Structure 1
Amino acid sequence: MEAIVHDPAGAVIGLDFDGTLSPIVPDPAQAVIHPKAPGVLAELGARVGAVAIVTGRPPATALALGPGLADVPGLVVLGHYGFERWEDGRVSAPPPPPGVPNAEAELPLLLESLGVQGVRIEDKGRAVAVHTRRSPDPEGALAALREPLAKLADKHGLVIEPGRMVLELRPPGMDKGHALGLFLTEREARSVMFVGDDLGDLAAFDAVRASGLPGVTVCSGSTEVTALAERADLVVDGPDGVVRLLEELVSAITRS
């Protein structure tokens, strides 16, 4: 953290969205960013080299669920684990993979055949997610779906990304660690912090350490995921704790 405070112009601050900047909710479409997050990110963005949101959501969705994010100075949104990029009001991305819509078309019949109740399919454009949080038995539904969805993903050339009561089918070849590592190189970063809450953020933690830069990994803590907390340099209490940490970082940079 000291390297960020003493040389903020060389710092990259990376953050996940769901569970980090936004509380986890039963319906992902109803998620909303922490009310203080856009303001503190704007203050941070004016002081550091770059602020990057690295998320499994499409950039447009993250921005829609985070009013005010588009005004954060220098913000970059690396969506779909880095396959899509929003910067300066524009989205760039390669063509969408055909395996995703093909797998999504098979999902309703597969779920019906398994008799799993209360699950929700989320079309994410370049990925498709199956959420079990609304099921009468979320953990049991997740366990029952893991192998069948892995087979479906493999059939269509996709991979499974596990998360908090969700299994996501997405294209291989990119993850949060790869996306963050490329961004650090691009920006010639001299220090880095990454904040996340879920298993998909472990790759970004690894990228922080592999970069060789002064860095800090932060877990937005929850009772649902412990693996991240075990690997983090610092654990805070959910999105409220993330916002407080960012506020403290802004204050420390301002005083230095």
Structure 2
Amino acid sequence: MSPEALPTPVTKAGQEGLDALLARPSEALIGLDFDGTLAPIVADPELARAHPEALAALAALAPKVAAVAVITGRPAEVAVRNGGFADVPGLEHLVVLGHYGAERWDARSGEISAPAPHPGVAGVRGELPELLERLGASQGTWIEEKGRAVAVHTRRAADPQATLDLLREPLTGLAGRHGLIVEPGRLVLELRPPGMDKGVALTEFAREIGAGSVLYGGDDLGDLPAYSAVDRLRADGTPGLLVCSGSDEVTELRDRADLVVDGPEGVVHLLGALADRLGRGAP
């Protein structure tokens, strides 16, 4: 896809969302997941980095819209570092809503605001290794420390999906005993505090800036609440466009999306196409 070519949404609501974004870009909110959307999925999440062309596309688009929000389950600091978002000209309107919105980093100030950590995370962290050992799942799984949450990845296991299925119920029980919930994803189970999700984060930020239209792009189960939030905004009169960063591992988003693109590369091309179209001033 050339940077000038904008793909066509397959739904009427999606086309209306795109039309509103192009007609009134200064009112538009661009919401994006990080892993699998701006950054390719990798076996070790610590090595995840934004697509090589992502920063240029974001820097070209951000000054033309009301705001760009990266909404992620990662700590905000990690997403900023792995995305390379700090001190990039053109990204002054960027915010990173980390831990599903519990943390916030603003590009203008470079500061992170966050509440105190949930005490249950420390309890879960202490019990997880023994639980995985007892279940015979210590080999091939990997515990990701996320500060305000803990995630167990099974992508390296001999049978990743079977291991995920084995762990789902015990980890749900462990989380519940410590006042946490389990957030499933692409071969990962995350134990985190309740009360915040990407839908809440997206809705609150959209209201904060008075967004006149919303585009949200994601790739995983954790993005479904944001999809539902866009549906509610549309029902209330705010046009929206749902973009799926295509994956064969998760079909739920693909089935609900107005527009499916080819992974992070497709997302970057979409952002570049939007920036190009808005730069030419043509709806």
TM over 0.5: yes
SS in 2 for 1:18: coil
1:51 maps to 68
Distance 1:4 1:214 in 2: 8
Is the contact made by 2:86 and 2:110 (CA closer than 8 Å) also made in structure 1?
A: no
Paired with 1:201 and 1:10, the residues of 2 have a C-alpha distance of 22
Q: Is the contact made by 1:100 and 1:128 (CA closer than 8 Å) also made in structure 2?
A: yes
User: Which of 97, 108, 121 pairs up with 1:100?
Assistant: 121
Separation (CA, whole Å) in 2 of partners of 1:166 and 1:250: 34
Taking a change above 3 Å as real, the CA distance of residues 70 and 58 of structure 1, as seen in their structure-2 partners, is: farther
Q: CA deviation at 1:79?
A: 0.3
TM-score normalised to structure 2 length = 0.89
Within 2, Cα distance between the matches of 1:100 and 1:128?
7
Q: 2:100 aligns with which of 76, 81, 90?
A: 81
Listed as ranges, the matches of 1:154-173 within 5 Å are 154-173=176-195
Aligned pair partner of 1:120 in 98, 122, 142: 142
Indicate the SS of the match to 1:53: strand
Distance 1:60 1:68 in 2: 10
Q: How big is the shift at 1:70?
A: 4.5
Q: Which runs of 5+ in 1 are unaligned?
A: none
Q: 3-state DSSP class of the match of 1:218?
A: strand
Aligned to 1:214: 239
**Structure 2 spans left out of the alignment, 5+ residues:** 1-17
Moved over 6 A (4+): none
Shift of 1:252: 1.4
Q: Give 1:245's aligned amino acid.
A: L
Where does residue 110 of structure 1 map in the other structure? 131
Deviations 1:45-103 (A, max 9, x none): 11000000000001110111112454212100000000000012010011000000110
Figure out how many residues of one structure are paired with residues of the other and give that number. 256
CA contact (8 A) 1:177 1:205 kept: yes
- Which residue is 1:242 aligned to? 267
Q: 18, 39, 42: which is aligned to 1:25?
A: 42
- For the residue of structure 1 that corresponds to 2:35, the secondary structure is coil
- Whole-angstrom CA distance in 2 between matches of 1:89 and 1:73: 10
Partner of 1:200: 222
**Contact 1:15-1:52 at 8 Å conserved across structures:** yes
**What is the TM-score normalised by the length of structure 1?**
0.98
Q: What is the alpha-carbon distance in structure 2 between the residues aligned to residue 244 and residue 69 of structure 1? A: 22
Which of the numbers 208, 217, 234 marks the counterpart of 1:186? 208
CA contact (8 A) 2:121 2:150 kept: yes
1:232 matched residue in structure 2: 257
Higher relative contact order (CA 8 A, sep 6+): 2
Q: CA RMSD in A?
A: 0.8
Alpha-carbon separation, structure 2, partners of 1:55 and 1:140: 26
Give the distance between the partners of 1:69 and 1:249, measured in 2 at CA. Answer: 22
Q: Counterpart of 1:253?
A: 278
Corresponding residue SS for 1:122: strand
**Map 1:31-42 → 2, pairs under 5 A:** 31-42=48-59
Amino acid at match of 1:38: L
